[in-house]
Structure 1
Amino acid sequence: MLQALGLTDTAAAVYRTMLDHPGDGVDQLAAACGLPPTRVHEALDELARLLLVRASSEHPGQMRAVDPEIGLADMVARQEAELAARQAELAASRAAVTQMVARRAESRATNGERLLGMDAIHARLDQLARATRSEILSVQPGVQRAEDLEASRPADTEVFERGITMRTLYQDVARNHPHLEVYGRWLLSQGGEVRTAPTIPQRVVIFDGTNALVPIDPADNRKGALHVTEPGILQALIDFFEQAWGTAIPLGATSSEDPESGLTQTERELLRLLATGLTDDVAGQRLGIAGRTVRRHMASIMERLGAASRFEAGIRAAQKGWL
């Protein structure tokens, strides 16, 4: 699927024909592809921009197709670089939101308050939950401890009894931990909604769109939290939640595999993360899984692709439209 690499159908057809018939000129390519010569010229211009054809030394005035092991590999590398740059932009945006939250919390005591320690956090969660009138949105990355879940059960029960809507977003890794699976299904039984995704935004709990708690340190939520009420920051947090929620899978779903590729959401996200240049360990941290689990997933993907290396797997995955 060369189209997955950015080629038009016409350019892809001309490129394949040139590979099969390296000595053909424009008229012969046009006849073989069933295209007028002008369309072939346009396709050659496109292939030249993508560095997939070069001037022929053997046939002056003609173009020759670059070997796909070189040309397509270079295209994949360029797309990986572009994807890495986009990921860096998104990471910078997330960092900017986090920094904005921190600055507002420190500069406006009424609109952002530091809560230090789990007791202070739980007390404020209880206070905000009791004041909620419509909806609570919650993002819970990683694996929560069983005791923390049990500590939140009374407040969650009180919220459901008052008819409050609760939407909770976990990482896919939660499905592999019995205590998280049990608690998620309890939320469902109470009328809540629970979804999971391979990677999700930072931890946050949003009450009625007017109050939110976010961790001071996203890597360790037990250090403390920021209580945010500034509308601009709240809207950014809500937007992040809705984007992640829209692509997440309901907890009760029987399968999250792509019917065409057979990839799970986690495997597809892993391919995307590794394509940006992340190491196994960093990609595993984003997914909430160990580095050895990353390597096991990649071994399975490479076997399905019939690839002998990760580089080859990347090319074949791109050709199949998996990236």
Structure 2
Amino acid sequence: MFEALGFNDVAESVYLAMLEHPQAGVEDLMQNLGMEEHQIRQALDDLARMSLLRISGSAPEVFVPVNPRTGLAALLARQQAELAKRQQELEESRASLTALLDVYAGSRVHTSATGVDWIEGIDTIRARLRELAETCTWEAASFVYGGAQSEASMAASRPLDRDAIDRGVRLRTIYLDSVRNDPATCSYAQWLCDLGSEVRTTSVLPMRMLIVDRRIAVVPVDMEKTSAAAVEVTCPGLLTGLVALFSFAWKSAVPFGARRRRDGDGQTAQEKQVLRLLGLGHTDEMVSRRLGVSVRTVRRTVSALQERLEAKSRFQVGARAVALGWIDPDDLG
């Protein structure tokens, strides 16, 4: 009946049952509907995300249904607004793509004139990165996205990094915190530090990036397919923004070898990022890619947070984290 509003059969059955018996708990719903506990709790999470349930004022661990006249109307209005927003974004993306194709339809001379040059294909990207590493004169700053690094990648970088350090180039590298759990990447980072390079880690990185002498930056076009294509940025305005982004991340990152401290609430930065990314609607798989950790680690972290917060569901984890000030509502968009 409510498929068009995003309901599945289980969520619909649970919602209708709760409307008929507003005080029904999980065990009551399991018995009345003949469903497993995990099905009921997943349905409650789904309904809460759609703002069709609210936490009872008298019992924080109990959900009660929102009046369907207002709840379903508000849900429909949100979906209509989201549809309009997506349509606008689609039109804007189409216009931007048309403009971009017009720019890149000509020769590479035209792309260079804009200060943004297209590099396509893994071999071409690697060759350009090698050229930049060999001609760097005083500083190379990089975001190393993706957690643990492959042996092949580190083997290819080792002679370039050693040569740059021998020439007096300042190497500043930011890895994800998760590399501290990978012996091979840790060994490489320690090797860099022993040579005089500067290495730090942070809980989350926005992209993979290399900035050479603050005059050239290279970033991938697609973070999910970093080897497909990249852009080389020399436009002063864009470069200033990328350098500022690196500086901001560098100041908040922790020097390699130092233990990352927990804050006053006993959380690590990684736990805060897990809360924030889940609050933004990311799946466990998406969170694992952003933080460079396994899906199993993400689920273990969520389970530990759920236990600390005495929460019955993921929705309650987020709600209580916001209520306790563990995460800022503004970070959730």
- TM category (shorter chain) comes to 0.5 to 0.7
Superposed CA offset, 1:8-48 (max 9, x none): xxxxxxxxxxxxxxxxxxxxxxxxxxxxxxxxxxxxxxxxx
Secondary structure of the 2:119 match is strand
Q: Which residue of 1 aligns with 2:214?
A: 209
- Superposition pairs for residues 123-142 of structure 1, below 5 Å? 123-142=127-146
Q: Which runs of 5+ in 1 are unaligned?
A: 1-65, 75-80
Q: Which residue of 2 aligns with 1:315?
A: 319
TM-aligned CA distance change 1:123 to 1:311, over 3 Å: closer
TM-aligned CA distance change 1:236 to 1:307, over 3 Å: same
**2:287 pairs with 1:283:** yes
TM-aligned CA deviation for residue 67 of structure 1? 5.8
- Of 102, 108, 111, the match for 2:111: 108
TM-score between the two structures when normalised by the length of structure 2: 0.63
Q: Which residue of 2 aligns with 1:292?
A: 296
- Whole-angstrom CA distance in 2 between matches of 1:254 and 1:172: 10
TM-aligned CA deviation for residue 69 of structure 1? 4.4
- Whole-angstrom CA distance in 1 between matches of 2:318 and 2:119: 45
Superposed CA offset, 1:215-262 (max 9, x none): 13221222232222111121121122222222222211123322x222
* Percent of aligned positions that are identical: 37
Q: Which residue of 2 aligns with 1:197?
A: 202
TM-aligned CA distance change 1:312 to 1:115, over 3 Å: closer
Superposed CA offset, 1:274-308 (max 9, x none): 12232222222222223332221111111122222
Secondary structure of the 1:121 match is helix
Does structure 2 conserve the Cα–Cα contact (< 8 Å) formed by 1:201 and 1:241?
Answer: no
Q: Which residue of 2 aligns with 1:243?
A: 248
Q: Which residue of 2 aligns with 1:175?
A: 180
Q: Which residue of 2 aligns with 1:255?
A: 260
- Whole-angstrom CA distance in 2 between matches of 1:281 and 1:294: 8
Q: Which residue of 2 aligns with 1:37?
A: none
TM-aligned CA distance change 1:217 to 1:276, over 3 Å: closer
- Whole-angstrom CA distance in 1 between matches of 2:223 and 2:316: 35
TM-aligned CA distance change 1:163 to 1:275, over 3 Å: same
Q: Which residue of 1 aligns with 2:151?
A: 146
Superposed CA offset, 1:191-237 (max 9, x none): 11111112102111000110111113221222232222111121121
- Superposition pairs for residues 24-35 of structure 1, below 5 Å? none
- Whole-angstrom CA distance in 2 between matches of 1:297 and 1:125: 36
TM-aligned CA deviation for residue 167 of structure 1? 0.7
> Match for 1:165: what amino acid?
R
**2:278 pairs with 1:274:** yes
Q: State the structure with bigger RCO (CA 8 A, min sep 6), 1 or 2.
A: 1
TM-score between the two structures when normalised by the length of structure 1: 0.65
The number of residue pairs the alignment matches comes to 236
- Whole-angstrom CA distance in 1 between matches of 2:247 and 2:111: 27
TM-aligned CA distance change 1:207 to 1:68, over 3 Å: farther
